[in-house]
Structure 1
Amino acid sequence: MNTKAEQPKGANAADIGKLVLAVLVLAAGIFAYSWFSNDAGIPQSVRMIGVLIALAAALAIGAFTGPGRRVRHFLGESQFEMRKVVWPTRDETLKTTGIIMVVVVILSLLLGLIDLILKSVVLDWLLKLGT
């Protein structure tokens, strides 16, 4: 039996409280950025660092909730799977790119030819029959 399928989906009160706290910390950082505008004499770079610190704190608080643990687990599994991927070599990538470019050019010429034929059929033959 798969234990992952039986995990509860709902968040408990502690998780909700932590998520609310994370949102409040982020909102406080954004509010402080706008409150201490350039009129207060604080440079924009310092205000931006404050927002980044608030963002990091909010992410850290959110990481210790149930959804945060699931996201961390997902990212860990994603990194593990990325190590399994066999990436193409430079030569394979260049050859594949070249083939795709040739196919795109051929298809665009073919579609242009079809458009030219249909235009001549409609404008020259069908419209002249009506006059």
Structure 2
Amino acid sequence: MNTKAEEPKGTNAADIGKLVLAGLVLVAGIFAYSWLGRDGNISPSVRLLGVLAALVISLAIAAFTALGRRVRNFIAESQFEMRKVVWPTRDETIKTTGIIILVVIVLSLLLGLIDLILKSVILDWLLKLGG
């Protein structure tokens, strides 16, 4: 559990303005991509670079809001928690995968056998008795 003091969750007007500006920059980049593509004079790779630049600029603007700080803190804490994970060795992974494949094969054969038994009971015995 995180023992840090929680930041206030409210959003002020400056943060809202920054988020709106980031959205406008991104929309402008997407609009410019389609607008500049109408004439065919500008190559698609240059237009794509423009959209990527607009995306990077909008993310940079959004990073300086309270929401952006919370996202950065979340990513930093996630990376810290990922360092605590004990990953299985290659040998453990291969053995576990083999066991899972074996269980899947056994269960599929068992379900196939149950299906075959039910089919023979219903088609051969019950329908012949009724007909």
Interval containing the TM-score (normalised by the shorter chain): over 0.9
Structure 1, residues 71-109: CA drift from partner, whole Å, max 9, x if none? 000000000111111111111111111111001100100
**TM superposition outliers: structure 1 runs of 4+ over 6 Å:** none
Aligned-partner Cα distance in 2 for 1:60–1:93: 40
Q: Could you state the TM-score of these two structures normalised by the residue count of structure 2? A: 0.93
Taking only aligned residues, the RMSD between alpha carbons, in angstroms, comes to: 1.4
1:18-29 map, 5 Å: 18-29=18-29
Q: Distance in 1 between the 2:113 and 2:19 partners? A: 59
Judge conservation of contact 1:38–1:44 (CA < 8 Å) in 2: no
Find the counterpart in structure 2 of residue 80 from structure 1.
80
The 1:43/1:2 distance shift into structure 2, 3 A limit, reads closer
Query: Does residue 60 in structure 1 map to residue 79 in structure 2?
Result: no
- Structure-1 separation of matches of 2:125 and 2:64: 72
Relative to total residues, which structure has the larger helix share, 1 or 2? 1
How many pairs are equivalent?
Answer: 129
After superposition, where does 1:46-125 map in structure 2 within 5 Å? Answer: 46-125=46-125
For the residue of structure 1 that corresponds to 2:88, the secondary structure is: coil
- Structure 1 unaligned segments of length 5 or more: list them: none
Q: What is the aligned partner in structure 2 of residue 3 from structure 1? A: 5
The answer to whether the aligner puts 1:42 opposite 2:25 as a matched pair is: no
Cα deviation, residue 69, structure 1: 0.5
Q: TM-score, normalised by structure 1?
A: 0.93
Residue 8 of structure 1 and its aligned partner are, at CA, apart by: 2.5
Percentage of pairs with the same residue? 74
